Chain A
């Protein structure tokens, strides 16, 4: 049986772009944060809402942030393909642009899920086995999938409109840090949080994803999370449409 074109492209994305150092940096950094940040702040912060300990609060946040890691990888693959003319090489071969885009998004999703697995493994000795029901597991995976689609689509849309590697990677880094730090991944939002920051945090889709994953971990999943899921799904649809539009206008040829 012939491998479907999208799967062939996904395999190629993984084989061609995953050198050990990239993997170490992309997964090592959040794993390191769980261990160090979690342990250190656990001593200082006695309890955080329904999560209990700080480390139990941090782990679901870091899991949710893996959607950014996957999206960053997809954006990197896309940009390197543009820089090294692989986009043109693939487009002049037996592939449709839609398949290439679908493969990038699938790469983002799969990479995010691998990241989720690694974060869970790293957190096991610290927080134990999370007793998740099938519904809660599905909620977590669904949230990660929508988040990957949103952030992946956004980065691909931006990457398709820029012709400079420096500019693209600067925007990507800024966006990555801005989204992670101004969200509820590392810390909760409370009544003591400054109003301006609170508005920005709640305008950040990663906040909704982190809160939903956290609620699944603490078995407090409720109607608010359904609304968050709907918002994330809408944003993912918009980002996907932006990525498609960016692909339609994609100018092939040399980039810096």
Chain B
């Protein structure tokens, strides 16, 4: 059973976009919890921070508490324990001024009964965006989110993907400092997703902080500076995606080809050498042309392969080590026994 890392370490600034060495915190979450009724917690003991221009990904299985976390942090639900500081102010005392600095794309579909274009400008009006700015921004958003062909249609007549794009576009009609995106890319095709992620990354580089929930882990890996993994309402781990992958990646896949096909006795010998007890190399495919192993210590496996080849005057023609994906690390993390360390979370430096 994997042991949980001890909390600690300093915040790093590595990630898809460098954040610089000094970090202005826009959101600090401290022991935050929300219970539907006494003892029935949806989230508990959450601790994390989000800096200016940082993209923080909240990952977790269905029902892990991602949406509840977003709802509490956007003041839609009051915390029942702990608190958070939004732009330095206690969440319980946050009002119009703090919310005016937020953007929220809810998981639930939200729309008004007017055309797509009118929805954009009407929403901008609600946020007090000057009419001329709203008009030009609406054009920008309609183009960016490929909504021009449907600008005159009512949102409920759009496809699921179009409605999702519309909802993200509408939120971007006003200025904000911290944007909450609750599964913004559900139902979107790969190309649209890529465009939206690129746009969000650009906005983050310009200083927009983003809290992002998703089930598409590749997205989180691509966009987020740091991620937090929620399980049963608790933060199991948080840190840069690279660190999460490194800590929880499990075995990596090593594939090797020799300069000539291996004979049957050679294959048997190689298999015997590599699967000797205690090495932790697991064969997944072995034949005359190539061998594929999974290994916790891929470097050791590569060295062993090389040594075995030398002893038989055989050169390794090609060798590849496939790094674990965030998805594999996530699966390893959330399939671990959550009861082993029920309190606190592992912060990875």
Of the listed stretches B125-133, B195-203, B210-218, name the one at the interface; the rest are far from the partner chain.
B125-133
Contacts of B96 in A (CB 8 A): 5, 94-96
Q: Is A126 an interface residue (CB 8 A)?
A: no
Q: Is B263 an interface residue (CB 8 A)?
A: no
B175 vs chain A, min Cβ distance (A):
11
Of the listed stretches A81-89, A169-177, A216-224, A227-235, name the one at the interface; the rest are far from the partner chain.
A81-89
Contacts of A17 in B (CB 8 A): 113
Additional pairs, 12, CB under 8 Å, beyond known A15-B118, A88-B76, A91-B76: A2-B128, A8-B128, A12-B112, A12-B125, A16-B112, A16-B114, A19-B113, A88-B106, A88-B110, A92-B99, A94-B97, A96-B95
Interface of B, helix, strand, loop or mixed by DSSP: loop
Smallest CB-CB separation from A9: which chain B residue?
B126
Establish whether residues B99 and A93, one from each chain, have CB atoms under 8 Å apart when the complex forms.
yes
Total number of A residues with any Cβ neighbor in B under 8 Å:
27
Residues 80 to 130 of chain B near chain A (Cβ within 8 Å): 95-97, 99-100, 102, 104, 106, 108-114, 118, 122, 125-128
Establish whether residues A92 and B102, one from each chain, have CB atoms under 8 Å apart when the complex forms.
yes
- The answer, among B76, B97, B112, for a CB contact under 8 Å with A86, is B112
Residues in A lying within 8 Å of B, measured CB to CB: 2-3, 5, 8-9, 11-12, 15-17, 19, 80, 84-86, 88-96, 252-254
B183 vs chain A, min Cβ distance (A):
14
Establish whether residues A89 and B113, one from each chain, have CB atoms under 8 Å apart when the complex forms.
no
By CB atoms of chain B within 10 A, which of A85, A89, A254 has the most? A89
B274 vs chain A, min Cβ distance (A):
54
A143 vs chain B, min Cβ distance (A):
31
CA distance A12 to B120 in the complex (A): 12
- The answer, among B108, B109, B127, for a CB contact under 8 Å with A93, is B127
Smallest CB-CB separation from A89: which chain B residue?
B110
Residues in B lying within 8 Å of A, measured CB to CB: 71, 74-77, 95-97, 99-100, 102, 104, 106, 108-114, 118, 122, 125-128
- The answer, among B77, B113, B127, for a CB contact under 8 Å with A252, is B77
A171 vs chain B, min Cβ distance (A):
22
Establish whether residues A252 and B76, one from each chain, have CB atoms under 8 Å apart when the complex forms.
yes
14 A-B pairs with CB atoms under 8 Å apart are: A8-B125, A8-B128, A11-B125, A12-B122, A17-B113, A85-B108, A86-B111, A88-B106, A88-B110, A89-B104, A92-B75, A94-B96, A94-B99, A253-B108
Establish whether residues A254 and B108, one from each chain, have CB atoms under 8 Å apart when the complex forms.
yes
CA distance A96 to B126 in the complex (A): 13
Smallest CB-CB separation from B97: which chain A residue?
A94
B318 vs chain A, min Cβ distance (A):
53
Contacts of A96 in B (CB 8 A): 95-96
Contacts of B104 in A (CB 8 A): 89, 92-93
Smallest CB-CB separation from A94: which chain B residue?
B100
Contacts of B111 in A (CB 8 A): 84, 86
B30 vs chain A, min Cβ distance (A):
21
Contacts of B71 in A (CB 8 A): 252
B346 vs chain A, min Cβ distance (A):
30
